[in-house]
Amino acid sequence: GDNLVVLGIETSCDDTAAAVVRGNGEVLSQVISSQADLLAQYGGVAPKQAEEAHSRVIDKVVQDALDRANLSEKDLSAVAVTIGPGLSLCLRVGVRKARRVAGEFNLPMVGVHHMEAHALVARLVEQELSFPFMALLISGGHNLLVLAHKLGQYTQLGTTVDDAIGEAFDKTAKWLGLDMRRSGGPAVEELALEGDAKSVKFNVPMKNHKDCNFSYAGLKTQVRLAIEAKDIDCKHPLSSATNEDRRNRADIAASFQRVAVLHLEEKCERAIDWALELEPSIKHMVVSGGVASNKYVRLRLNNIVKNKELKLVCPPPSLCTDNGVMVAWTGLEHFRVGRYDPPPPAIEPEDYV
């Protein structure tokens, strides 16, 4: 049980990440190589460039994870790797590496679902978090409300009908001319602190839909129109903006964030009611994925969840954004119950197509 040691590899998007985690939840190492410069250059993730960047660093990232854990491949119980969802070109870099390590050292492999990993890492953080529980998973590509009955058994209560909230944060940052050398979310969150969140009137999406689905495409358009109306030039960096220009941008950032999160709040409230009908013993609501590292998001959702007499479990920011720990941990959870693949044949890397 607790003596298991699993290596986790994550390459589904723009970060190359690896980690080594022990069965008792101890994180032995955690390494992330991010493509910040590429993000700034292309204003988003370009699959081909991202794949090349993963390929350049994957060997080193995995080696660093093992070195920092003071382990060699021989000490591992299994190798876990994200197999989807994500950019297929990028996923393949991680899967190829995992197969190479597992093949060479005769290790079982566990294929991990990226969104399940975002949810289950909360069980590493909070030991008392047991099934069934609820999860709101909010990232750049996904906006999911899930009821987790038991390991591997999930009911989707809601999803986005168009864009995810992280995508809306990223575009808002881009159009406001914020520093894109990191992802847009943190930049909008920081600027929003200076702004008046009630100054720009945005409509809360899907107000009249009595379901648990999300929509962020319309809010994105509202933000773009507000930015155009205030004559904000996104090519003009914030650092050289006039006071008035800066205040306008901050007001839009704060107003956007407030309404984007209000949408989450409304749908979470309804989803909790639905979930409690299906599973009355639920005690916890997990909020995870990159956007869950936002302090305002955490604060507002904590209020909702507390009012419903549940406990909010939000992993620390480093485990909310994409990371290798969540993959290693989810691999451990499945490995423990016998859900894994046998070691792949040991063949040379050039044999792979």
Binding residues (CB under 6 A) for ligand KG4: these are 13, 139-141, 166, 169-170, 183-186, 189, 289-291, 293-294, 321-322
Measured distance CA(134)–CA(146) in Å, rounded = 6
Does 11 participate in binding Zn ion (rule CB under 5 A)?
no
Lookup result for tokens 């590899």: 9
Nearer to ligand KG4 (CB atom), residue 110 or residue 119? 119
Q: Kindly state the smallest distance separating residue 72's Cβ from ligand KG4, in Å.
A: 29
Nearer to ligand KG4 (CB atom), residue 77 or residue 288? 288
Nearer to ligand KG4 (CB atom), residue 174 or residue 283? 174
Q: Kindly state the smallest distance separating residue 308's Cβ from Zn ion, in Å.
A: 26
Q: Kindly state the smallest distance separating residue 83's Cβ from ligand KG4, in Å.
A: 14
Measured distance CA(260)–CA(195) in Å, rounded = 15
Q: Kindly state the smallest distance separating residue 268's Cβ from ligand KG4, in Å.
A: 16
**Contact partner at residue 185 from ligand KG4, Zn ion, none, CB < 5 to 8 Å by partner kind:** ligand KG4
What residues pair up with 133 in beta bridges, in sequence order? 148
The residue among 10, 264, 283, 231 whose CA lies nearest residue 144 is 264
What residues pair up with 312 in beta bridges, in sequence order? 285
Question: In 2-87, which ranges are continuous DSSP H helix?
Answer: 36-42, 47-68
Judged by CB under 5 A, which stretch of 134-142, 169-177, 219-227, 328-336 contacts Zn ion? 134-142
* Number of residues forming the site for Zn ion (CB under 5 A): 2
Q: Kindly state the smallest distance separating residue 183's Cβ from ligand KG4, in Å.
A: 4
Whether residue 328 contacts residue 8, with contact meaning beta carbons closer than 8 Å, is answered with yes
Measured distance CA(217)–CA(44) in Å, rounded = 17
**Contact partner at residue 34 from Zn ion, ligand KG4, none, CB < 5 to 8 Å by partner kind:** none
Measured distance CA(295)–CA(284) in Å, rounded = 19
x-marked contacts with Zn ion along 202-241 as a string, rule CB under 5 A: ----------------------------------------
**Contact partner at residue 294 from ligand KG4, Zn ion, none, CB < 5 to 8 Å by partner kind:** ligand KG4
- Rama region for 143: left / alpha / beta (φ>0; ψ in -120 to 50; rest): beta
Nearer to ligand KG4 (CB atom), residue 14 or residue 266? 14
Q: Kindly state the smallest distance separating residue 86's Cβ from ligand KG4, in Å.
A: 8
Return all residues near 345 (Cβ < 8 A) that are at least 6 apart: 103
Nearer to ligand KG4 (CB atom), residue 66 or residue 136? 136
The residue among 101, 102, 12, 23 whose CA lies nearest residue 333 is 23
Q: Scanning residues 35 to 64, which ones bind Zn ion (CB under 5 A)?
A: none
Does 322 participate in binding Zn ion (rule CB under 5 A)?
yes
Does 139 participate in binding Zn ion (rule CB under 5 A)?
yes
Q: Which two tokens stand for residue 303?
A: 């209020």
Does 15 participate in binding Zn ion (rule CB under 5 A)?
no
DSSP 177-235: T--TTS-HHHHHHHHHTTS-TTSS--PPTTTT--SS-B--HHHHHHHHHHHHHTT--TT
Q: Which two tokens stand for residue 141?
A: 């590509």
Interface residues toward Zn ion, by CB under 5 A: 139, 322
